[in-house]
A and B are shown apart, each in its own frame.
Chain A
Amino acid sequence: MSDQRLGEFEEIILLLVGILADEAYAFHIGETYTRQTGKSSSIGAIHSTLSRLEQKGFLKSLHSDPTPVRGGRRKRIYRITALGQRALTASRQLRQSLWNQFPGFSDLSFHHE
């Protein structure tokens, strides 16, 4: 099937979806992204990433109840799938193991103190 790798932006979006839980719809994800990273984002970019992640099977989506603020339209709420969880975990484990092998890691933490 399609590519199972996870890009950096994709990983962050995936994490944000997990963080925002029931409020994980594109607009809100974009806002949170900007707030957390300080970088700007466009709805287009967020949407295409979300739909790519959905195609890869990392996300699934469902409709929320209609809200008046959006002209009565339903939100498309994203949820992380088991596959998404696994991909996140794999990514995190990879980083963890790389940090653990990093010789300067313990020194680095001492210097900070």
Chain B
Amino acid sequence: MNLPKLPLRFLEWFCPDDLLEGILGDLEEKFAEDVSNRSMRKARWHFRWNVIRLFHPSILFRNPMRLSPGPAEMVVRHIQTTSRQMWRNPFYSIVTLAGLSVTTAFVFLTLLFIRKEQSFDQFHQNKNQIFRVYQEIKNAETGTVIRKSAVTPVPLAEGLANSFSGIQNYTRLASSTATVYQEAEPFTETVHFADAAFLDMFDFPLLQGNLANALTDPLDLVLSPDIAVKYFGQGNPLGQELRLTLNDTTITTIVRAVLDPRKAESSIPFDFILPIDQYQQIVSKDLFDSYAYGLLENYIQLATGIEPKDFGKRLRTTRILEQDENSNQQVFYGLQPLSQIHLADEVTGNALYTSPQKLYFLMILAILVITIAGMNFIILSTSQALGRFREIGVRKTLGAQGFQLWWQLMVESSFICILAASLGVFLAWWLTPLFGQLTGSPLTFQPGWGAFGILLLVMLLVALTTSLLEARIILRTRVQDALSGKNKNGKTRNTLNDGFVVLQFALSIALVLGALTIRRQMQYILHKDLGFDKERLLEIALPATSSTDNNLHLVKRFAALVQKNKQVLAVSASMNNSSEPWTELIFAQSDGEKEKIFYNQIDANYLSTMGIELVDGRNFTPDGNNASSAILVNETLVRHFHWDNPINKEIPGKNFTGSHRIIGVVKDFHFSSLHQQIAPLILSLDLEPVASGISGVSTHVWPANLYQILVRIGPGDLEPILNNLESTWRSMVPDQAFSYQFVDDALKNKYAEEARWEKAMDWASLFAVGIAWLGLLSLMRLSVRKKTREIGIRKVLGSSIPAVVTLLTRKFFWLVLIGSLVAWPVAWLLLGKWLNTFSYRIELSPWSFVLVGLAVLIFTTGTIGFQSWQASRANPVDSLKQE
């Protein structure tokens, strides 16, 4: 017979043995008939078709009365038994499933988040050849790194390309604000400046236009799709004109291309890109050509075949610019791979980044949570296995081998784990938008196979551990003990369980402590006295014109107009605002040291408007009779130079021409983040007095000028005041957008990241503690239930209810105590470390530690006390009848 081989093998594989012979015979007979009636080819096709038709549940799952059932069928049986078991104990089933599935959802979302963070900047084809150049300033004597910054001088990349071979392409990337006009309506926007090579090096998807010529002409413009829609609606933006004002120059640009910035996965977010030449409208020519000023980011692309490590070494050992021989600071340049910019925080730059510590923290939290949930599952399942001694006894009597019993338990645990995991994945899908909101970055549910793989692996691991532990208990039990419902091995199992319970208590206590401490620190920061009054203080962005006098004039006119309204208490102006880092000036000293001092240009009403106290000397007078040499400094600066009497002193510096005098000292106020100590600060009416001593600047706000109007508003409605301010503004500067922010909002935004993490931490710890409690609660229930008989007997023998409750509660008291002793030192160390990242921090109080421990103790003893009280109130007759 010439039967087709493959279908034959298939049939032999799926067909139950007892049916196979009959079926094969029939098929062969049919085949023979077909061969004689029709053709061999037709017969073979019929045969194949018939085999497929036989692949049918009624054949596959034919009730097989066999002595040795196949493994697949046993799995089905075991799952059946498991579901019955779960039906019978709805409480445990719900606790187990809920715990595991919610945990899965949490871990899954965490994985998604981490993967998303890691996917940043990975879409550029040349990502391994593109580097951001950073500078590292080192103390020549001690060799310690003073600062690493990716904000570097404008000519750097070009200079590198000229002096090193192997650089294929380079681009500079600067940013600034500009006023953009839609018809006559002005909008304040952030614009970027880049070399034409930017378009070659990076792979942002081109949506419209042509990249070949974009950014070659000074008036070329590249837009993001959002902005194209904002200014041109649905029409074609290509070739359209867009008017914008940079500083005080207005240019008419032409849109050449629309490029998708892929903001969700790129650390270089842009909306407008102009050619780098236009950056000269923002900074003067000498700054543009100078190596002394860090202003923008430089990106280089190494030619293929150039080993980044070798190049980095060459870069380190070569002096790029003349360095001051006397200086004890050395400047080195280094390369940071594009693909690592997003997840590194040791180099500060303009690009978006996420601290890798946060990812580690999340990962640790995920591992903690899954550990807790896994332990819960193990504890609950093993405890429940004891309740099934009878079933196991019967199985053993009927000849079940150790391996078979383990296999049954393994199938059971895997079934529950995988069921829970599926529920969890569904839950994760459902919760994705919410989680995205919570972490502040939109998340899409696109798990790769990797995430599923890890999940499956973890679940199988939990199932394996559980089943092995269960099997250990069960195999040690003698059949007769099992059948009579006795458990002689309770003791050995309990030490393991107790360990788990202690660990859970410890984790719960540590997490609660962590959440509380983070919360207290955030409250402290948000409510700390900053040294100035941040309430009802408004910052309005001034047009960036080149002359301080013009701006001062504008501020005065504006002040005179708006102060007709009695609700406006004071008006002032400032160079720096409350949301961005302030300008830092560098003064070279004769001994080669460099003094870095923060600087802010203000007007005479600054201190009164801000509510900053003057502690020594005098303030500027608003009438205009201020000595041109006058400067104010803060207390920290006085302390920094160890002066007893700072009035009339000069800031030391080798280039100073004696052009300034300190006329007053202001009380320290927080002008930068509370992560940092208050630094020395100079305030003056313009840069004149200190200009001669400056040897360098590190800032995004430059040149010195007044860029902000500050308005202090008195009590009462804000709405009419804002309208008043806006209409006044529009009448004075119609071509400049009225863009303002409240200082307290800006400060809140500054700590928004921390606030978000506080929230996430709150939820995560609440969640972890909840999971831990769920497990402990059911464990307590079990332990009370197991002692029902004992309670009955004790009561019959005359024990009182309180005595019984004490007996059951005592053990948990000790477990909580041990848990606390484990948690306290660990939490103390870790939290202390975290708090040290703040310069202004709360102290850890041992009392809060004791209190949290106590709260957990009360909650635990309360729960188990209540349950044992219930159990002990039952009539002993009922509980003794049980068996």
Q: Answer yes or no: B716 CB below 8 A from chain A CBs.
A: no
Inter-chain contact B27/A63, CB cutoff 8 Å: no
Q: Answer yes or no: B26 CB below 8 A from chain A CBs.
A: yes
Complex Cα gap A48–B50 (Å)? 12
Q: Answer yes or no: B882 CB below 8 A from chain A CBs.
A: no
Inter-chain contact A51/B58, CB cutoff 8 Å: yes
Given contacts A43-B23, A47-B23, A51-B19, contact A73 B28 (CB under 8 A): yes
Q: Answer yes or no: B59 CB below 8 A from chain A CBs.
A: yes
Q: Which residues of A contact B49 (CB under 8 A)?
A: 42
Q: Which residues of A contact B50 (CB under 8 A)?
A: 42-44
Which of the residues A25, A45, A61 comes within 8 Å of B26, measured between beta carbons? A25
List A residues 32-60 near B (Cβ within 8 Å).
42-45, 47-49, 51-52, 55
Report the minimal beta-carbon distance from B46 to chain A, rounded to whole angstroms.
9
Q: Which residues of A contact B22 (CB under 8 A)?
A: 25-26, 61, 63, 73-76
Complex Cα gap A69–B1 (Å)? 10
Report the minimal beta-carbon distance from A50 to chain B, rounded to whole angstroms.
9
Which of the residues A48, A61, A73 comes within 8 Å of B56, measured between beta carbons? A48
Complex Cα gap A75–B23 (Å)? 8
Q: Answer yes or no: B730 CB below 8 A from chain A CBs.
A: no
- CB closest chain-A residue, reference B59: A48
Q: Answer yes or no: B25 CB below 8 A from chain A CBs.
A: yes
- CB closest chain-B residue, reference A78: B22
Inter-chain contact A43/B26, CB cutoff 8 Å: yes
Inter-chain contact A73/B58, CB cutoff 8 Å: no
Q: Answer yes or no: B536 CB below 8 A from chain A CBs.
A: no
Given contacts A26-B22, A27-B25, A43-B27, contact A71 B1 (CB under 8 A): yes
Q: Which residues of A contact B25 (CB under 8 A)?
A: 25, 27, 67, 70-71, 73-76
Report the minimal beta-carbon distance from A87 to chain B, rounded to whole angstroms.
18
Q: Answer yes or no: B268 CB below 8 A from chain A CBs.
A: no
Report the minimal beta-carbon distance from A72 to chain B, rounded to whole angstroms.
9
Complex Cα gap A48–B26 (Å)? 13
Q: Which residues of B contact A51 (CB under 8 A)?
A: 19, 58-59, 62
Inter-chain contact B26/A26, CB cutoff 8 Å: yes
Q: Which of A45, A55, A63, A76 has the most CB of B within 10 A?
A: A76
Inter-chain contact A52/B58, CB cutoff 8 Å: yes
Q: Answer yes or no: B200 CB below 8 A from chain A CBs.
A: no
List B residues 42-75 near A (Cβ within 8 Å).
49-56, 58-59, 62-63
Complex Cα gap A76–B19 (Å)? 8
Inter-chain contact A47/B54, CB cutoff 8 Å: yes
Complex Cα gap A89–B63 (Å)? 26
Complex Cα gap A71–B21 (Å)? 11
Complex Cα gap A74–B51 (Å)? 19
Q: Which residues of A contact B58 (CB under 8 A)?
A: 48-49, 51-52, 55
Q: Which residues of A contact B781 (CB under 8 A)?
A: none
Q: Which residues of A contact B62 (CB under 8 A)?
A: 51, 55
Report the minimal beta-carbon distance from A51 to chain B, rounded to whole angstroms.
5
Inter-chain contact B28/A43, CB cutoff 8 Å: no
- CB closest chain-A residue, reference B62: A51
Inter-chain contact A73/B24, CB cutoff 8 Å: yes
Complex Cα gap A49–B54 (Å)? 11
Report the minimal beta-carbon distance from A53 to chain B, rounded to whole angstroms.
10
Q: Which residues of B contact A76 (CB under 8 A)?
A: 19, 21-23, 25
Q: Answer yes or no: B30 CB below 8 A from chain A CBs.
A: yes
Report the minimal beta-carbon distance from A63 to chain B, rounded to whole angstroms.
7
Q: Which residues of B contact A63 (CB under 8 A)?
A: 21-22
Given contacts A55-B62, A74-B21, contact A47 B32 (CB under 8 A): no
Report the minimal beta-carbon distance from B17 to chain A, rounded to whole angstroms.
12
Q: Answer yes or no: B12 CB below 8 A from chain A CBs.
A: no
- CB closest chain-B residue, reference A46: B26
Complex Cα gap A26–B26 (Å)? 6
Report the minimal beta-carbon distance from A10 to chain B, rounded to whole angstroms.
11
- CB closest chain-B residue, reference A53: B58
- A–B pairs, 24, beta carbons within 8 Å: A26-B22, A27-B26, A43-B26, A44-B50, A44-B53, A47-B23, A47-B54, A48-B59, A49-B58, A51-B59, A51-B62, A52-B58, A55-B63, A63-B21, A63-B22, A67-B25, A70-B26, A70-B29, A71-B1, A71-B24, A71-B28, A73-B22, A74-B21, A75-B25
The 7 closest A-B pairs by CB, nearest first: A44-B53, A76-B22, A73-B25, A27-B26, A48-B58, A70-B25, A44-B54
